[in-house]
Structure 1
Amino acid sequence: MGERYEYVPHRLLRRRVRDIASGVEGELMAVISENVSGVGAEHWVELAYVRGPSGREFTTSVGNIESAPGGEAG
């Protein structure tokens, strides 16, 4: 089956982002393409790891990430 995950470059890494789904803002720590296959064909998803205001990281779909106000200034 090969590797279970791989890191993906993203233009907003280490920048302030907002998770559209939850509205939570934080720093984008990593984007990982993760193999979530069961039995049968491989299925990969891209997850964004965001460190929220509490310091804890959460995941969301990469499609839910947008730059937060002031996020591009870095």
Structure 2
Amino acid sequence: MNAAPEPCGRRRPRWLETPPLVASRLPCALPAGHDGPHEDAIGQQWVWLPPELVDAVAVLCTVDRVRQAFATADTPAEEAER
């Protein structure tokens, strides 16, 4: 009697969840150690990214937004209104 291969079981990261949340939290149904994207039982695929990369991108986006919020340079349209 052959046993079925052990599934990967990795779940989609919370920042990739989509409605309905129950479906987006299904674990990867592909065999453990597979190559390529993960895929759940209903065929939705996702790529696992290292948390360090996700954090670094979030920090860069936040820094850019803060820089834009506190920018002191006037745009040409604002100078024309004066």
TM range (shorter): under 0.3
Structure label with greater radius of gyration: 2
Higher relative contact order (CA 8 A, sep 6+): 1
Q: Of Structure 1 and Structure 2, which has the larger fraction of its residues in strand? A: 1
